[in-house]
Every structure is written in C-alpha cells, then in structure tokens.
Structure 1
Amino acid sequence: MARILIVDDAAFMRMMIKDILTKNGHEVVAEAADGAQAVEKYKEIRPDLVTMDITMPEMDGITALKEIRKIDSNAKVIMCSAMGQQAMVIDAIQAGAKDFVVKPFQADRVIEAINKTLG
C-alpha cells in the first residue's frame, strides 16, 4: 500500500483518481489544487508517490515536479496529461517524472503506472 498525494486543479479529477487508488488498496494522504500547494504538501507529508496534473493555475505541474525533485531527488511522480500534451509530457519525463497517464483516466492504466513506479 502506497501513501499518495493527488495534485489536480479539478476537484472531480482528484475524486476520480482517489476512487481508483483507494479501490486498489492505496491510501490518499493529501490532495492539492495547484503546484505550489503540491510542493508544500510534499515537504510536509513526504508521500510515497505523487500524481501530478500538468496544466494548473499558479504553478504548473512541470515546475512543481522540478521543485519537488529539489526537495527529494528520489521523488516518484506520475504526470497526468490531457490528449495532445505530448511535448509537455516529454518535458516532464526529462524533468524526472517516472511515468504519465492520459485523461480520461483508465483505471487499469493508472494502477499499472503506479505499480511500475513503486517497483
């Protein structure tokens, strides 16, 4: 069981991911609605894994990913992107993201990414 931080500016997206994760035995320890909140929560909680939306107000997911990796170079972050954000996904992987899932989420793909990332 992993302790997971969910980051997405859309509450219904957070709810969808939370539902998938809890049904598969993981614990959602915190949620954040933008990158700045994500960095703060990461510092505070040190989750096992983060699901990070790419496009958010205040601070986007790639910037937040870089900030989190400054705090913890071993941070496990999976990016969540909409269709057509391939260039951003490549940036995220280069910045240290472990994997990515595309919206709309397919539960099996989300779980596969998490299991693979947690090793």
Structure 2
Amino acid sequence: MLVDDETYMQVFVGRVLASSINCTVTTARDGQAAIDQCEKSDPQLIILDINMPRVDGVQALGRIRALKPDVPIVMLTSISEEAVVEECVTKGASAFIRKDVRADLLQTELQEMLQQFFSDEKAAP
C-alpha cells in the first residue's frame, strides 16, 4: 500500500514497486484512508508519507502499527526533523526513505528497500 497525497509520487513509486517485485499496488491519499484500508485488507508493505491532509503519516503510523504489528512500514518523506523521525521510530517505522532526492536515487533506494523486505521475491536492479 502506497499512502501519499501527491499524485506524481503515487505514480512514480507505484511504477518502481510494480517493476521491482511482483505485486499489486493499492493507494490511499491520506492517513485515514490508509487506516480504513488496513482494517479491511492485509498489505504486505506500507509506504507512508508524513505530510498529508486529515490524518498525517505520524498519526496513521501508530494506528496502523496497532492493526498490523508485523507489516513493514516505510516512511517516505521530505521531513528530516529529528523529533519527527524519533517519533516515527518510537511508533514502529521500519525504515525511512527521503523523497526529495533525484528520481534515479529514489528509485535505487526503493529497490534496495524492497530487496531488504522481500529478498525471496523478484527484485529488479
């Protein structure tokens, strides 16, 4: 599941996911929609932006972690404030990826993250 309110990020990250591993990508535009989807489905991975309307990623992280304690949750964000990062770690974030980098670097980081969590799946370089 990819949770981001920015359409271009949903498209870009969705393409990287689909081309890197055999998966179906579901999307949500805010934290509340992600929480609702997690109550009804079993995502294998959640990529969660921090800055979103209604319920932000930090709030959603805690609620999703309570619903899905074993699912990797990767924070995809441009926020680097230490207090926010620490709060996400405390609430159970599995990893962080900065989205304010060049597209090729973001793609490489996403692929490395996928290999970490899905080493037995097809992982395209």
TM-score normalised according to structure 2 size: 0.83
1:83 Cα deviation (Å)? 4.8
Question: How far apart are the structure 2 equivalents of 1:44 and 1:77?
Answer: 17
One-letter code of the match for 2:89? I
Residues 29 and 18 of structure 1: CA distance in aligned 2, closer, same or farther (over 3 Å): closer
Moved over 6 A (4+): none
- Residue correspondences, number: 115
Unaligned runs of 5+ in 1: none
Unaligned runs of 5+ in 2: 120-125
**Which of the residues 34, 38, 58 maps onto 1:38?**
34
Alignment of 1:1-12 (within 5 A): 5-12=1-8
Question: How far apart are the structure 1 equivalents of 2:80 and 2:64?
Answer: 25
One-letter code of the match for 2:4? D
**Which of the residues 63, 70, 76 maps onto 2:72?**
76
One-letter code of the match for 1:64? A
**8 Å contact kept, 2:18–2:25:** no
One-letter code of the match for 1:27? C
TM-score normalised according to structure 1 size: 0.87
Structure number, greater radius of gyration: 2
The corresponding residue for 1:63 is 59
Q: Which has the higher contact order (CA 8 A, sep 6+)?
A: 2
Alpha-carbon RMSD across the aligned residues, in angstroms, is: 1.6
**Identity between Structure 1 and Structure 2 (%):** 26
Residues 11 and 116 of structure 1: CA distance in aligned 2, closer, same or farther (over 3 Å): same
Structure with the largest fraction of strand: 1
